[in-house]
Structures are given as C-alpha cells and as structure tokens.
Amino acid sequence: METKKRSFLSKPGVASVVTAFAGVVVLMLIFWGMNPNFIKQNNLMQLSRSICPYLLVGIGQGIVCITGNIDLSIGSVLGMSAMISATLICNGMNVILAIIIDLIACLIVGLSNGVLVGKFKLPPFIGTLGTMTICRGIAQLVNNNYNTGDIGVGGLKDLFRDVFYYDRIGYLYYGVIICLIIWAVFYYLMSYTATGRHIYAIGSNVDAARLSGVDVFKTTTIAYTISAFCSFMAGLITMAAAGMGSMQAGMSYEMYGVAAAVIGGISTLGGSGLLVGVIAGASVWAILQNGLTLANVPVAMRNIIIGIIVVACVLFDIMRRSGMIGRKKKAA
Amino acid sequence: MSDYVVTMEHITKTFPGVKALDDVHLHLKAGRVMALLGENGAGKSTLMKILSGVYTRDSGEITIFGNKIEGDLNTKQAQALGVAIIHQELNMCQHLSVAANMFLGREITKGGRLDNAEMNKQAVEQLAKLGIHDIDPDEAVGNLTVGRQQMVEIAKALLINAKVLVMDEPSSSLSNAEITEMFRIVRELKAMGTAIVYISHRLQELHHIVDDVTIMRDGKYILEGTFDELTGGNPDHMDKIIANMVGHEVTNQFPREDVPKGKKILEVKHLNAGKLVRDVSFEVYEGEVLGFSGLVGAGRTETMRAIFGADVKDSGEILLDGKPLNIYSPGSAIRQGIVLAPEDRKKEGLCTKLSIRDNIALPNLDIITLGSPTGRINKKTENEMIEKGKSSLTIKMAHAEVEAGSLSGGNQQKVVVAKWLARQSRVIIFDEPTRGIDVAAKVEIYEIINELKKQGVGVVIVSSELPEVMGISDRIIVMCNGKITGEVDPRNTTEEEIMTYATRFGDNAA
C-alpha cells in the first residue's frame, strides 16, 4: 500500500492555524515598530497574563463552535464565577470550599445548556441567551446587587491570588501555566479521544453521526460543560487579579471567545478547526488591545479596528467554505 | 429451511391516507443481486426502510437469517442482523477523515486514546478487500469524489459485518468510470456472499450485475424472476420488465381541450446549468401545454429553475416573443413575464404563515404600490386582485385573511396560481402541479391549466406521473440525466415509449 506522507500544511485545519500564528508575529512586529516598549520584557509578561481569560473562553467557545452550536452564556458564567467565589470568601468561607461550590454552580449552567440545546433542541442562540441572562442575574443577586469588597489577605487567600494571577516561576506566571495545562487537556480530548471525534462529527453532519451511533445529546452536553468550566476558570483569574468580585466581570466575553476561536481557524459552522489555533486567536486579541493602547490609539478607534478584523476573519472562513475563494473557478 | 437469507412476506404499510405497501414480497439469497424495480412512488424505498428498521410494518412477516422478526424491527436490531443501507444521499461527515467516518460511533481506543494507527490499518484492509488501494485513510471525506465516498460507505457497511446490503440508486451521481468501479465492487461483494438489493432506474446497466428482479407498482408486488428469464437472455430486451413496471394502458381520463396552436412564445436555446441541465433547447407555443417527463433527478426541475433565474445558468439563451431576455434572478423573470409554480408548495410556493391575501400580493407589490410615492399598499388594487383570483379559481375560503398553510393542497396550489394570474404572465411553469392533491382537486387544476392555454398563456408542466403528463399535455419532452432524450405526441404514444426515453442513460459501464 502506498500511503504517501502527507505534507504538514495539507492536513485539515493546519493552514488556518499557521496563518493565525503568522498574524501574531506580524502584529508583534508592527507594534514593535510603533513603540519599542512593546517588546520590553515587562510588557510581554503583562501580555502573557492578559491572554489567559481570552484563551480560556476561546477554548470553551471553540469547542462549542466545533459542535456547530454557540454558547452565549460564557461571559455571564465568568461574572457569576467571580461573584460567587468572592462573595463566599468575603463571608469567611474557606477558599477551597468556596471554589468547589463555585465550580458546581458553573457546571450546572453548562449541563443546563446541554439539556436545552441537545435534548430539547432549543436553537443554541435562544437557549444560551436565556442562561446568559439568568447567570448575569445570579451574579448580581449573590451579593445583593453590590460588588464585593476586597477578599482580604492571609493564608489561602494570598495563595489564591498568587497562583491565579500574581506569582510566577521565572518569566512564567502560574496563571499562564494553569491555562496552558487546561488547554493541553482539552487539546488531547479533542484530538486523541473518541469524545473529541464525536464533537467534530456532530458539528460536521449531525444526522450521519446519529445514524453511526453517536450520542448527540451526551456529546453536546460535554461541549457545553467544558465551556462552562473554562468560564469558571476565567472567572477565578479575573477575581484574583482584582481581589474582589465585580458584577460586570466578563461582559461580552462570549464574543471575545468567538473572536479567539474564529481568528484561530475554528469555523462557527461546525465540524472543523484545531484547538491550537485558539492560542493564536487569543494572542491576536490581547496583542491588539495591548499594542493599540501602547500606540496611544483612542479606545473608540481600538474597538473599530478589532471589530473589522473579526468580521474579516469570519468572512474569510465563510467564503473559503462556500468555495468563493481558494478554489479554482469553474469555466463558464 | 429455505436458502433465502431474507424473506419479506405479505408486507403492508399504510401512511395516513395512502396505502404505501400492499401485500409485498421480497426474497434475497446470499451472493446474489436482486434488482428492485418500479416507477417513482412504487414503494421500493418504503419497503427498504422497513427492512432496515426506519419504518415499522403494519403487518407481514420478515425473516432475516432464519430469525423470524417478532414485533417491530428497529434500526439497531436490523444493523445487528447485518442489514445495511447505502442511501441515495450519502451520509458522511465531510470534515472527518475516511477512517474516522468508517469507525464513527465505534472507535477503537487504547487506554482512552484513539488508536488511529489501528483504525487506519483496518480501514485500508477493508478497502483493499473491495480492491481499492488508493484511498488515503487520513484524507477528509469531503475531498473525495462522490463515487469514492460511496465506496467508503460500502466499506463502512462491511466493517459492521453487513451481509445484506441495500443500494438505493447508487449509480445516479457517478461518472462512467466510477460506475464501472462500483460494479466491480458489487461483484466482489457477491463473491463474499453478500446479498444485495439494487434499486436503479438505469435499466440498460442491470445486466452487468443483476441476477434476480422484483418488480413493484403502486405499492403492490407484481412479479419476481431471474433477469435472464425476464429478458429472454437478451439484455437489450427490456420490454417485459418495462411493461410490468408501467402495468396498464392509459385511458384518457384528463380533460385535455384542443386549441389551435398559435405563435411561438418562449424559446430556450442550448441552456446549460450545473450537472443536470445540459444543452437543453425547446420551444413553447401559444395554445399548447408542453409536458416534461422523466425520472426523478432527470434535470427537469433544474431546467425550470434555471429558466426562472432561481439557479445560475452557465450558458444558453432564453427568448420571449422573439426577444432575448436577461434573467438573473426570479424577480427579473417575474417582471419579464415568466413565472414558476414550484414543486414543493409549502417550502417554495407559499409563505405558509402569511394569509392568502399576503401571498397573492407578495410578487405583485410593484403593481399594488404603483403610483404611490411612499410605496404605500393600495388596498383597493389589492382587493381587486384577491377577488379576481378567488372568483376565477374558486378558492374555497372563508376570507382572504386565512393562513395559506391551513388550506388543503389543492387550494394552496390555487393560491400559487392566483398570485401569478394577477399579473400578465406570458409563460407559467408548473412543477409537479398536482403532487399531494386529491383527485377532485386535480381535475380543477387541470381545468385551470386548460383555461390558461385558451387565453394564450404558454404553459409548461413538469410531472413524474405519466398518466397525468400524457393526459394534459399537447406535446411531451422527455429528459434523462440532464439531457432531452426524446419528444413525443401524447395522443399516440405509450408509457413504454416514454419510459424508454426516460431511462436512456446509455450503458455507461465498461
């Protein structure tokens, strides 16, 4: 048998990942040119830390996108995670116990999304719009519609802040390491396990998957639960950075997740994309924020530029898929 | 015990209002190919869906490998007994690799980790058993041609130990070389002892692989025999098979009215659009109904959609009253006088949630808002239009505000016609005008068609029902595989002649 060695670039999804990383490099060079401080060690370390929440929500949203669905509740679950953990800790609860309760609450949201979309066949946009609103409500409710005060210092509280945000080994913040570990676990799941393959399959052709014996409900629920877990972690990081819980935490992060996933080459139409790309996608997002700030671009202009880049990425994806570009036009 | 691997006896299945299967039999032997033949709607697919557990039978007996099936057969059970179907529309995950598709839902893992090497190896082995050596198991299925995808699907079926394989129109979307390849694989399967049910309209190709034939018509079992018996050993001698598929001489039960043929209205020259419209040319005259016959997938609907501007044309000319038209969208076709009553009324013909009024007004809003600088809907014009449609078509309705979706099929079709009558259309194309409509309402639709003909409107009807197209048309064009293969005068033709043209695929296998 003559299976020719496939070239690395021809593997599905690899080309868009390479493009995304090339984009990261180009952006870094541009910002370096605009402001030499961009490449300074301090700024790069700051940058690595600011990528973390985008990376986490990008992983969650990316996996849900690969199933062909969307999770609008991500930002609210992030806010809920920050508020529940901060409120419990401020009220004197043991930090670890608080985190566990927080985790359970977040996972329940993920399971609910899975049931609504996978079992009751709600359109994902509507189903998760509902949970998005509910979770923001819970984030406001837990501390009677106030942000929490500072979670205080000493013992586990210090350790919590250090591990999730402030301390580092060498140049690497613990928070960054945690995110990379989470990424690696889900990368393994998506690329090397049957569950991951089923996630791709239901996004590619849900009927074919069902007829082949794939449990569509279970698979959908796993994806949504992973997404909720990622939001929970992003919530803890945000809370550790601020030292308090903010009811507004995570506003619009579901969309940042979409952006990170799409820039990284994951299709919102489902079935394709590699989780490696999300690292590049989240980096592009964070670099644009950071670099445009250093270059003294006004906030309004920053938003416009970032928005244009996201639309361009999705447009490119859709055109590539529908054969408008990247394929030879057939002769008339 | 008989030497049959599958027997289906006295199978009956009723859908609301229709007896889809009535006392049908099927007998399959290991290592033999059974051609299941019949016209569109004869019940072939329904029977196969019962065998594979997608539908449940109302009554009758099924025995698979000596297991008498008690109660309902479900898909899992059927699969476990070794029955697999290759569907007409392939069911694969286009983004996943060949091996991933073959093992979808039953992946091989080692310590929780996918064993891709092993799956690739087995996929390659399975394909090799079919004599296919050049499919890369890592290739995304979407990158393969349809023919190769089909081979992957066959290999997938064998992987789950399918011993009874149903192939529904497997050659309909394949190139000639792929058909040859597919037949080779079918012979391999026969040699392995697989029992195969082969559904196809391509009669000329059957002799390459088929051993036995079962013919169905109108949900009934007609006959069973060996291929040689039925053709008398001469594969070109299909008359007996076709006669049994068609079954009866047609009596003229349709109110065709003869109107003197007038001048040429529409001329289509060398139209090409996609794979199913290839060099199609025809003319429509005043005072005639032009029928289009052919099998499902022959390209009739595609031709009409291309003329109407719903699909992109690759090349060709359309002339109306001698003037060339530039049709680039349905809107432009409507404005220039060509309209289409589509095949699927609920999906394409009507906005079912809107009222009859809104549906009739929708394509005519240009007329209704004429003269108003703000584009205001002129209620008076609109009401006149509705009244006209209502009275000329006898649409039975309480009032025009009723949801179009709540009407009967016949009345829905009338609403579709009404919206086109409201403007001065020169050519009206009906795609399957009476599908799903009861007999009495059918006659009313035919009368409307006759009335249009008398008014000098060019009428084109596409119909898969031979008696209908023969009864109502003044001239019939037969299509097969995207091309016009014949033109007949319905007054002196037979169903056999039309079927001969409709199955003129040629023998494409080497």
| Pairs of residues, one from chain A and one from chain B, whose beta carbons lie less than 8 Å apart | 76
Q: Which residues of B342-375 are buried (b: 16+ CB within 10 A; e: fewer)?
A: bbebeeebbeeeebbbbbbbebbeebbbeeeeee
Where does a domain end: B423, B442, B467? Answer: B423
Where does a domain end: B364, B395, B423? Answer: B423
pLDDT level of residue B397 (50, 70, 90 thresholds): low
Helix axes B495-502, B239-246, angle to 10 degrees: 110
Shared-domain flag, residues B170 and B209: yes
Whether residue B321 is predicted with pLDDT greater than 50 in this model: the reply is: yes
**B25, B221 Cβ separation under 8 angstroms:** yes
Q: What is the mean pLDDT of chain B?
A: 87
Q: Which of A176-180, B250-254, B442-446 shows the lowest per-residue confidence on average (mean pLDDT)?
A: B250-254
pLDDT level of residue A69 (50, 70, 90 thresholds): very high
Amino acid, single-letter form, for residue A150: D
What is the structure's pLDDT at A3? 44
Best mutation site among A3, A193, A330 for testing chain B: the one with the most B CBs within 10 Å? Answer: A3
Q: Which residue is closest to A189 within chain B, CA to CA?
A: B113
| Helix (H) or strand (E) run with residue B486 in it | strand B483-488
Shared-domain flag, residues B318 and B440: yes
SS3 assignment, position A291: helix
Q: Put the strands of the sheet holding B315-320 in their side by side order.
A: B277-285, B264-273, B315-320, B323-324
Beta bridge partners of B476: B291, B488
Q: How far apart, in whole angstroms, are the C-alpha atoms of residue B126 and residue A249?
A: 54
Shared-domain flag, residues B148 and B56: yes
Would you call A273 an interface residue with chain B, using a CB distance cutoff of 8 Å? Answer: no
Whether residue B424 is predicted with pLDDT greater than 90 in this model: the reply is: no
Q: Whose CA is closest to B479, among B285, B293, B250, B208?
A: B293
Q: Where are the beta strands (DSSP E) in chain A?
A: 168-169, 172-173
Per DSSP, helices labelled H in B143-220 are 146-159, 176-191
Q: Where are the beta strands (DSSP E) in B302-397?
A: 315-320, 323-324, 338-341
Burial of A314 (0-12, 13-18, 19+ CB in 10 A): middle
Answer yes or no: is B254 within a domain.
no
Cβ-defined contact of B113 to A192 (cutoff 8 Å)? yes
Per DSSP, helices labelled H in B208-329 are 227-231, 239-246, 300-308
Q: Which residue is closest to A10 within chain B, CA to CA?
A: B139
Per-residue pLDDT tens digits for A221-269: 999 999 999 999 999 999 999 999 999 999 999 999 999 999 898 988 8
Shared-domain flag, residues B418 and B443: no
CA distance readout (Å), B319 to B271, B307, B483: 12, 10, 20
Q: Whose CA is closest to B499, among B230, B240, B235, B174?
A: B240
What is the structure's pLDDT at B384? 86
Shared-domain flag, residues B372 and B472: no
Cα angle B241, B246, B249 (rounded to 5 degrees) comes to 120
Question: What is the four-CA torsion angle of B191, B65, B179, B142, rounded to 10 degrees?
Answer: -120
Burial of A293 (0-12, 13-18, 19+ CB in 10 A): middle
**A43, A166 Cβ separation under 8 angstroms:** no
What is the structure's pLDDT at A1? 39
Q: How far apart, in whole angstroms, are the C-alpha atoms of residue A206 and residue A209?
A: 5
Per-residue pLDDT tens digits for A136-151: 999 999 999 999 999 9
Would you call A4 an interface residue with chain B, using a CB distance cutoff of 8 Å? Answer: yes
Shared-domain flag, residues B315 and B350: no
Cβ-defined contact of B104 to A214 (cutoff 8 Å)? yes
Per-residue pLDDT tens digits for A46-67: 999 999 999 999 999 999 999 9
Q: Which of B69-83, B289-303, B314-328 shows the lowest per-residue confidence on average (mean pLDDT)?
A: B69-83
Per-residue pLDDT tens digits for B445-483: 888 899 889 988 999 999 988 888 888 999 999 999 899
Q: Residue window 179-218, chain A: list those with CB within 8 Å of chain B.
A: 192-194, 196-198, 200-201, 203-205, 207-209, 211-214
Choose the most confident range, by mean pLDDT, from A307-316, B16-25, B371-380, B484-493. B484-493
Query: What one-character DSSP code corresponds to residue B236?
Result: T
Rounded mean pLDDT, B412-432: 88
Q: How far apart, in whole angstroms, are the C-alpha atoms of residue B22 and residue B13?
A: 7
pLDDT level of residue A204 (50, 70, 90 thresholds): very high
Whether residue A87 is predicted with pLDDT greater than 90 in this model: the reply is: yes
SS3 assignment, position B178: helix
Q: Whose CA is closest to B314, among B345, B340, B344, B276?
A: B276
**B455, B420 Cβ separation under 8 angstroms:** no
Query: What one-character DSSP code corresponds to residue B142?
Result: G
| Predicted structure pTM score | 0.77
Question: What is the four-CA torsion angle of B156, B157, B163, B168, rounded to 10 degrees?
Answer: -140
pLDDT level of residue B253 (50, 70, 90 thresholds): low
What is the structure's pLDDT at A330? 38
Higher pLDDT, B171 or B193: B193
Q: How far apart, in whole angstroms, are the C-alpha atoms of residue B208 and residue B181?
A: 12
CA distance readout (Å), B180 to A295, B174, B298: 65, 10, 21
Q: Which residue is closest to A205 within chain B, CA to CA?
A: B93
What is the structure's pLDDT at B320? 93
Shared-domain flag, residues B128 and B141: yes
Cβ-defined contact of A200 to B113 (cutoff 8 Å)? no
Shared-domain flag, residues B203 and B292: no
pLDDT level of residue B203 (50, 70, 90 thresholds): confident
Whether residue B252 is predicted with pLDDT greater than 50 in this model: the reply is: no
Counting residues of chain A whose pLDDT is more than 90, the rounded percentage is 73
Cβ-defined contact of B92 to A197 (cutoff 8 Å)? no
| Helix (H) or strand (E) run with residue B404 in it | none
Given phi > 0 = left and psi -120 to 50 = alpha, else beta, which region is A185? Answer: alpha
Cα angle B414, B416, B420 (rounded to 5 degrees) comes to 110
Helix axes A174-192, A41-66, angle to 10 degrees: 30
What is the structure's pLDDT at B170? 80
Where does a domain end: B423, B457, B483? Answer: B423
Would you report the helix, strand and coil content of chain B in percent, each value rounded to 5? 35, 25, 40
Counting residues of chain B whose pLDDT is more than 70, the rounded percentage is 95
Shared-domain flag, residues B315 and B454: yes
Q: Where are the beta strands (DSSP E) in B77-232?
A: 83-86, 109-110, 113-114, 164-168, 195-199, 212-217, 220-226
What is the structure's pLDDT at A332? 32
CA distance readout (Å), A53 to A85, A180, A254, A279, B371: 17, 11, 11, 11, 59
Rounded mean pLDDT, B480-498: 91
What is the structure's pLDDT at A327? 44
Domain spans, chain A: 38-316
What is the structure's pLDDT at A325? 58
Whether residue B53 is predicted with pLDDT greater than 90 in this model: the reply is: no
**B467, B253 Cβ separation under 8 angstroms:** yes
Q: Whose CA is closest to B429, among B416, B410, B440?
A: B416
Contacts of A194 in chain B (CB under 8 A): 107, 109, 114
Shared-domain flag, residues B267 and B181: no
Per-residue pLDDT tens digits for A75-85: 999 999 999 99
Whether residue B249 is predicted with pLDDT greater than 70 in this model: the reply is: no
Cβ-defined contact of A205 to B91 (cutoff 8 Å)? yes
Q: Which of A238-242, B132-136, B342-346 shows the lowest per-residue confidence on average (mean pLDDT)?
A: B342-346
Burial of A177 (0-12, 13-18, 19+ CB in 10 A): middle
Q: Which of A173-187, A316-330, B83-97 shows the lowest per-residue confidence on average (mean pLDDT)?
A: A316-330
Contacts of A208 in chain B (CB under 8 A): 91-93, 101, 104
Helix axes A41-66, A74-90, angle to 10 degrees: 120
Q: Whose CA is closest to B460, among B268, B317, B314, B271?
A: B268
Q: How far apart, in whole angstroms, are the C-alpha atoms of residue B249 and residue A1?
A: 57
Q: Phi and psi of B8, rounded to 5°?
A: -125, 120
Rounded mean pLDDT, A78-94: 96
Whether residue B250 is predicted with pLDDT greater than 50 in this model: the reply is: no
**A12, B98 Cβ separation under 8 angstroms:** no
Whether residue A2 is predicted with pLDDT greater than 90 in this model: the reply is: no
Partner residue facing A205 (CB), from B92, B109, B137: B92
Whether residue A318 is predicted with pLDDT greater than 50 in this model: the reply is: yes
Q: How far apart, in whole angstroms, are the C-alpha atoms of residue B367 and residue B369?
A: 6
Q: How far apart, in whole angstroms, are the C-alpha atoms of residue B74 and residue B54?
A: 7
**B473, B289 Cβ separation under 8 angstroms:** yes
Q: Phi and psi of B226, rounded to 5°?
A: -80, 155
Rounded mean pLDDT, B155-177: 83
Per-residue pLDDT tens digits for B1-29: 458 999 999 999 988 767 789 999 999 99
Cα angle B309, B310, B316 (rounded to 5 degrees) comes to 40
Q: Which residue is closest to A330 within chain B, CA to CA?
A: B314
**B434, B468 Cβ separation under 8 angstroms:** yes
CB atoms within 10 A of CB B134: 9
Contacts of A200 in chain B (CB under 8 A): 93, 95-96, 100
Shared-domain flag, residues B379 and B498: no
Domain carrying residue B494? 263-337+425-505
- Alpha-carbon B288 to chain mean position: 26
Beta bridge partners of A173: A168
Partner residue facing B93 (CB), from A3, A11, A271: A271
> What CATH number does residue B231 fall under?
3.40.50.300
| Helix (H) or strand (E) run with residue A211 in it | helix A206-211
Per-residue pLDDT tens digits for B65-111: 988 988 888 888 888 899 988 876 667 899 999 999 999 988 999 99
Answer yes or no: is B258 within a domain.
no
Closest chain B C-alpha to A207 CA, distance in angstroms: 7
Shared-domain flag, residues B324 and B376: no
How many domains in chain B?
3
Closest chain B C-alpha to A50 CA, distance in angstroms: 33
- The CATH code that applies to domain A38-316 is 1.10.3470
Amino acid, single-letter form, for residue B140: A
Answer yes or no: is B223 within a domain.
yes
Answer yes or no: is B37 within a domain.
yes
